[in-house]
């Protein structure tokens, strides 16, 4: 299936980069800096609440309902509201989110299996397709010292269309000068990443690191011809199968 693919494309956050781990560290340290009841609240519950707000408002941004900075402000406001912290003014919300970003950025790390996988596939052409603002993702890629590993980085914030729309996958293929069926795409979201890639004519690989897939998702993956892996260490073998 994937052995003849000329280009290997990846999602960034929670595929190559340990985004959720950095978010958890960042929001926990930022919250504890407040002191009082907010700092003493249950870490797991507060991380889950922040993650839910991130999912909700970031998808509003991807669908054009909010600007990039406004979705950050709405996340901050929603998070602190139960604790009586007033972030009504944009400047206050921006300052609060900026302090969270410092903690988040301090925790940036690749997944342990990322560099060994890229090394094992040396000689392949690599690219990234990410639903995010290009400048911010490029900063992240540079900080993680992997910029020179990737020929192209395609970001929805610059392209104007987000995954799972087939257009962004086809655009990435065109940058490499190949057809979509010459590409394989690896991502941590079944529908946004793997099925989106398949709908564009690519081979779709879903990395389910936590082995969280239920019967419905497994059936959906099978229906769309999506390959499931649980670590990037599986990818070199998969892509070199005869």
CA-to-CA separations, 17 to 35, 123, 152, 179, in angstroms, rounded? 30, 21, 17, 27
Q: Which residues, 6 or more positions from 96, have their beta carbon under 8 angstroms from its beta carbon?
A: 76, 80, 85, 87
Which pLDDT score, from 0 to 100, does residue 167 have? 98
Q: Which of 13-17, 37-41, 118-122, 190-194 has the lowest mean pLDDT?
A: 37-41
On whether the pTM is more than 0.85, the answer is yes
Which pLDDT score, from 0 to 100, does residue 4 have? 54
Confidence of residue 240 (pLDDT cuts 50, 70, 90): confident
Which pLDDT score, from 0 to 100, does residue 35 have? 80
Beta carbons of 184 and 5 less than 8 angstroms apart: yes
Which pLDDT score, from 0 to 100, does residue 2 have? 43
**Residue 105 to residue 19: CA distance in whole angstroms:** 10
Residues 197-211: what's their mean pLDDT? 97
DSSP reduced 3-state for 54 = helix
Beta carbons of 110 and 13 less than 8 angstroms apart: no
Which pLDDT score, from 0 to 100, does residue 241 have? 66
Q: Please report the domains of the chain, with CATH numbers, ordered by start residue.
A: 7-18+109-239 (3.40.50.1000), 19-106 (1.10.150)
- 224 or 1, which is more confident? 224
For residue 80, pLDDT beyond 80: yes
Which residue do the tokens 């929603």 mark? 78
Mean pLDDT over all residues of the chain? Answer: 94
For residue 203, pLDDT beyond 60: yes
Q: What is the pLDDT of residues 154-166, one digit of tens each?
A: 999 999 999 999 9
For residue 62, pLDDT beyond 90: no
**Residue 206 to residue 189: CA distance in whole angstroms:** 7
Would you say the C-alpha torsion 47, 228, 195, 112 has a positive or negative sign?
positive
What is the percent of the chain where pLDDT is above 70?
Answer: 98
What is the percent of the chain where pLDDT is above 90?
Answer: 90
Q: What is the pLDDT of residues 30-41, one digit of tens each?
A: 999 988 888 899
Residues 211-232: what's their mean pLDDT? 96
Q: Where are the beta strands (DSSP E) in the chain?
A: 7-10, 125-130, 152-155, 183-187, 203-207, 227-229
């Amino acid at each position: 299936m994937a052995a003849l693919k000329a280009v290997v494309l990846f999602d960034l956050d929670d595929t190559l980069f340990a985004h959720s781990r950095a978010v958890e560290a960042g929001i926990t340290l930022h919250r504890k800096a407040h002191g009082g009841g907010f700092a003493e609240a249950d870490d797991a519950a507060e991380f889950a609440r922040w993650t839910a707000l991130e999912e909700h408002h970031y998808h509003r941004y991807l669908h054009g309902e909010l600007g990039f900075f406004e979705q950050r402000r709405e996340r901050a406001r929603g998070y602190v509201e139960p604790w009586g912290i007033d972030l009504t003014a944009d400047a206050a919300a921006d300052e609060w989110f900026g302090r969270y970003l410092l903690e988040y950025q301090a925790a940036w790390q690749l997944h342990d299996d990322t560099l060994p996988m890229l090394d094992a596939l040396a000689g392949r052409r690599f690219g990234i397709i990410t639903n995010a603002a290009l400048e911010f993702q490029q900063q992240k890629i540079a900080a993680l010292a992997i910029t020179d590993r990737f020929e192209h980085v395609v970001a929805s914030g610059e392209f104007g269309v987000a995954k799972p729309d087939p257009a962004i996958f086809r655009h990435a293929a065109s940058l490499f000068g190949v057809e979509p069926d010459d590409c394989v795409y690896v991502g941590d979201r079944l529908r946004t990443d793997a099925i989106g890639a398949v709908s564009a004519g690519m081979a779709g690989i879903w990395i389910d690191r936590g082995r969280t897939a239920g019967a419905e998702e497994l059936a959906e993956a099978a229906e769309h011809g999506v390959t499931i892996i649980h670590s990037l260490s599986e990818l070199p073998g998969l892509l070199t199968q005869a």
